[in-house]
Amino acid sequence: MALKLVPDMETWHADGKDLMHVRIYAVDKKGRRVLNVKDAKAFDKLTFQVKGDANIVAVDNGNIASDELHIGKTQLEKSIQRHLFQGSALVILRAGDKPGKIELSVAGEKMKAKKLVLNTK
């Protein structure tokens, strides 16, 4: 099983306000989403880290029964954790003011880290 990161936009503006939603999915060897509630990896704990001029605004997984926080201690974070719920999670990033490369890294306790490189303009 592996992680798949899917951004919601191709263009991201370095204006200090623009948001990027990145969906994270647990996928099998054929790239199919893993939703199986019996597979512990579908509920793996993830660590999100961002490098570059951007911050993590919030994370979510759609689990209404979860008591995990959606935001970090300081509202804008460089690193935060959240569990997958039925093989899915979401991270919301806010661009800074400087155009350039942003690297999002997502690692699971039971799955290899996956990186996504985004560019702000």
Query: Could you report the per-residue pLDDT of 69-112, keeping only the tens digit for each?
Result: 777 655 666 778 888 888 899 999 999 999 999 999 999 888 88
- Work out the pLDDT band at 7, boundaries 50, 70, 90: very high
Rounded to an integer, what distance in angstroms lies between the CA atom of residue 25 and that of residue 2? 8
- Supply the pLDDT for residue 95: 96
- Supply the pLDDT for residue 39: 64
Could you list the beta-strand ranges (E) of 13-78: 19-27, 45-51, 54-60
What sign for the dihedral angle of Cα 5, 10, 15, 17? negative
pTM of this prediction? 0.88
- Supply the pLDDT for residue 50: 95
- Supply the pLDDT for residue 60: 93
Nearest to 93 by CA among 14, 26, 4, 3: 14
Convert the pLDDT of each residue in 23-76 to its tens digit. 999 998 999 988 875 666 667 889 999 999 999 999 999 888 887 777 765 566
Which token pair is 72? Answer: 């970090």
Q: Which helix (H) or strand (E) holds 89?
A: strand 88-95
Strand partners, 74: none
